[in-house]
Amino acid sequence: MRGHTIQALAVVLSGLLAGCGDSAASKRAAEETKEAVDAAARAAKAAGEKVRVGAEKAVDVVESGAKVAGEKIEDGAEDAARHIQHGADKVEQGAREALEKGKQEFREIKDATKAGVEAANAELEKNDKPETK
């Protein structure tokens, strides 16, 4: 918007200078004003192009950073998944070992109970038989 205001002002000044007379000086002043307006327009266009290029570079840098961050997050998630799986495997192995130990202890108790019952039955049989002297 500011560029349009400057151009309009330059056109008005150029018209005023041209309207002041037909002398060579006023024609030269009008031509110099037109050249100055054209130079300002080219400078504004060049500045706009530089801003556009800079913005594109900034977008590229941001996109590149986002990609790297995404890859790091993905790698971190994969590492976390491996650690979690390792922990789950250890818990499962511990549970299997505890179950096997429990089964073994149950068999030992069962065998001891069976031996105790057999010993008690043998004692009962021994007590039920009349002693012969």
User: Whole-prediction pTM value?
Assistant: 0.46
Distance CA 129, CA 132 (A): 9
> For position 113, what pLDDT does the model report?
95
Q: What is the pLDDT of residues 75-127, one digit of tens each?
A: 999 999 999 999 999 999 999 999 999 999 999 999 999 999 999 988 888 88
Q: Is pLDDT above 90 for 17?
A: no
Quick one: pLDDT band at residue 32, thresholds 50, 70, 90?
Answer: confident
Identify the three-state secondary structure at position 129.
coil
Distance CA 129, CA 127 (A): 6
Quick one: pLDDT band at residue 15, thresholds 50, 70, 90?
Answer: low
